[in-house]
A and B are shown apart, each in its own frame.
Chain A
């Protein structure tokens, strides 16, 4: 092991392009951007490791759920390319550390990306474009297409490269003498952020209410909220976790169960999205 392995520019570019194109192409509610991530890491892992078992093992790290604002999230992919490079060079980085970092970053980056890119940058560009397209002028849409895509391509490339460099330098801290303490703390951030994600991105409510008499009744959701807000989110996450870890069910079986729960819930009036056209 005289020479340190380094991810070639071609493999990095391939990972970058695969991510910016494929981050959401195979989206499902269960694994939102996971396959985009796997597809992006594949050329990197393929280059870094020599034998097939090591490749499979390394890629398996990225099997865990991933979802963020995918454009700003390019940075996380760059970061893990840097970390994977260090790992291939024998640095003792384990799956939990890498996934702790991923989990800890995806929530805040999603918040940042949704508010800055989707919530601010796009509306500004569209605002200008709408002004330019007065009376059906082609100038408006053309301006948006060019300005948005140029800004995003170079922005994402920058984020990816920054992440990659950061990944290399972060390794020092992650595997040094205090690594156990740092790892523990990173996983702690990850766990808290996942908790916040569970409260923010999931929205499970019940429509059940009882009418005892003309002026007394019980709206179950209000009662639940007075006990612990969004208690149903917490319950369902815990339930799915319980079924998967303690009952050893696969995610697919758990999802099948949820379909049954939803159907029964709708039939008895527990669930009612209350939507209309």
Chain B
């Protein structure tokens, strides 16, 4: 028993909503619909077996219970885990006649979820890369300086155009893989091996790109070469001394406080000097 076209389309739609940069938004999309437990309910509703859906979702949820994605580094893609992994797991459990509540079924669900989750990181990079095109349209409007155009384009870029990325990288893959079933996952693994040049380059680019974003920030705050020392200080706190961002920020505030006091004293001095220049000279001579 497979998945019908309508069911696949519904799963594809939810995949668009639930991705990490998803069309359902962060709170409702990623953190609600993208949680495997909630996804289990949704997939169960679509496939007409709520109970199995929730059992499978709960089994997979345990693996990703504290999935933190610091700074957009993705280790597993929730849209793939939830809206490709759970349907496939339900199919596999049915096909093999397993009891959904059993440990074997849970293990099967988890390994399928993990496999498509890793595969899904490709979808994540695909979506994020295609969004660059829409952002390009946005920048062009901003550069143009025409307010009426900006007012129309910015919401279009943020709310509407990313749907195209999701049709390409969430909707179509989900529909195709769900229709094709488990054999599809094995085939993709074969055609896009992780040790091939294409996948290696993809993941390397993914690790290099955040440097551009941070460099744009540096452009903003680094005014003179010496500012790189300040940057390097923060970098060293995190890289060498192992401070996390909160600790680094606290130390930064402490030094900024000292800087502020020094500047304040500098500000105060001309006033004192103006009020009693002669007095100031005498005092210095006394010392």
Residues of chain A having any CB pair with chain B under 8 Å: 18, 20-32, 34-36, 38-39, 42, 46, 52-53, 55-56, 59-60, 63-65, 67, 70-71, 96, 99-100, 103-104, 107-108, 110-112, 114-115, 118-119, 122-123, 126-127, 129-130, 133, 135-138, 140-142, 144-145, 148-149, 152-153, 156, 177-178, 180-182, 184-204, 228-230, 233-234, 236-241, 244-245, 251-252, 254-255, 258-259, 261-263, 265-267, 271-273, 275-277
Known: A141-B37, A273-B200. A199 touches B249 (CB 8 A): no
Are A141 and B40 in contact, with the CB atoms below 8 A? yes
B209 lies within 8 A of A255 (CB): yes
Instruction: Find A114's partner among B70, B215, B250 (CB 8 Å cutoff).
Output: B70
A55-B150, A135-B55 given; name 15 further pairs at CB < 8 Å: A30-B209, A30-B213, A42-B154, A46-B147, A103-B217, A107-B249, A126-B61, A192-B256, A197-B214, A198-B234, A233-B211, A237-B211, A254-B212, A273-B199, A277-B194
| Known A70-B26, A189-B253, A200-B70; contact A244-B219, beta-carbon cutoff 8 A | yes
* A55-B147, A191-B234, A262-B204 known; A28-B138 Cβ under 8 A: no
Give the residue of A39, A110, A194 whose beta carbon is less than 8 angstroms from that of B217.
Answer: A194
Contact B22 A24 (CB under 8 A): yes
Known interface pairs A30-B135, A195-B232, A251-B212; A201-B73 also in contact (CB < 8 Å): yes
Give A265 to B134 CA distance when docked, in angstroms: 28
Q: How many A-B residue pairs have CB under 8 A?
A: 422
Find out whether the CB atom of B27 lies under 8 angstroms from the CB atom of A149: yes
Q: Which B residue sits closest to A188, measured CB to CB?
A: B256
The answer to whether B214 touches A202 (Cβ under 8 A) is: yes
**Would you give the 0/1 interface string for B210-250, flagging 1 where the beta carbon is closer than 8 Å to chain A?**
11111111111110000110111111111110011110111
Question: Which B residues are in CB contact (< 8 Å) with A263?
Answer: 197, 201
- Asked if residues A65 and B214 are in contact (CB atoms below 8 Å), the reply is yes
Partner of A203, one of B73, B131, B158, B256: B73
Which one of A140, A188, A228, A267 lies within 8 Å of B252 (CB-CB)?
A188
Which of chain A's residues have a CB closer than 8 A to the CB of B53? 136
Task: Verify A56–B150 contact, CB threshold 8 A.
Answer: yes
B208 touches A258 (CB 8 A): yes
Q: Which residue of the partner chain, among B57, B65, B200, B244, contacts A123 with CB atoms under 8 Å?
A: B65
The answer to whether A52 touches B147 (Cβ under 8 A) is yes
Interface of A is mostly: helix
User: How many residues belonging to B are interface residues under a CB distance threshold of 8 Å?
Assistant: 124
What's the Cα separation between A188 and B35 when bound, in Å?
39
- Contact between chains at A196 and B249 (CB < 8 Å): yes
Q: Are B22 and A25 in contact (CB-based, < 8 A)?
A: yes
18 A–B contact pairs at CB < 8 A? Answer: A32-B213, A64-B220, A67-B71, A107-B245, A111-B244, A112-B246, A122-B35, A140-B58, A148-B27, A185-B263, A189-B249, A191-B221, A198-B214, A234-B235, A258-B209, A262-B201, A262-B204, A273-B199
- CA gap between A28 and B213 in the complex, in Å: 10
B125-159 toward A: CB 8 Å interface, digit per residue (1/0)? 10111011011101100100111101100110111
User: Contact at B221–A190, with CB atoms within 8 Å?
Assistant: yes
Residues of A near B6 (CB, < 8 A) are none
Contact A193 B249 (CB under 8 A): yes
**Once bound together, how far apart are the Cα atoms of A122 and B72, in whole Å?**
18
Taken together as a complex, chains A and B put the C-alpha atoms of A65 and B237 apart, in Å, by: 22
Task: Give, as a whole number of angstroms, the nearest-CB distance from A191 to chain B.
Answer: 4
A114 CA to B73 CA in the complex, in Å? 13
Asked if B20 contacts A24 (CB within 8 A), the reply is: yes
* In the complex, B264 has a CB within 8 A of chain A: yes
Q: How far is the CB of A158 from chain B (nearest CB, A)?
A: 14
B98-130 residues with Cβ-Cβ distance < 8 A to A are 100-101, 115, 118-119, 125, 127-129
- Measured CA separation A237–B195 after assembly (Å): 27
In the complex, what distance in Å separates the CA atom of A260 from the CA atom of B216?
20
Q: How far is the CA of A119 from the CA of B71 in the complex (A)?
A: 14
Q: Does B1 make an interface contact (CB < 8 A)? A: no
CB distance from A176 to the nearest CB of B (A): 11
Contact call B134/A122, Cβ cutoff below 8 A = no
State the CA gap A56–B145 with chains docked (Å): 6
Separation of A136 and B55 alpha carbons in the complex (Å): 5
User: A145 contacts B210, CB within 8 Å?
Assistant: no
Given known pairs A123-B66, A133-B54, the reply for A26 and B134 (CB within 8 Å) is: yes
Alpha-carbon gap, A272 to B196, bound state (A): 10
* Least Cβ–Cβ distance between A28 and chain B, in angstroms: 4
Distance between B153 CB and nearest chain A CB, rounded to angstroms: 10
Asked whether A141 lies within 8 Å of B57 as measured between CB atoms, the reply is yes
| CB-contacts of B153-197 with A (<8 A) | 154-155, 157-159, 161-162, 189, 194-195, 197
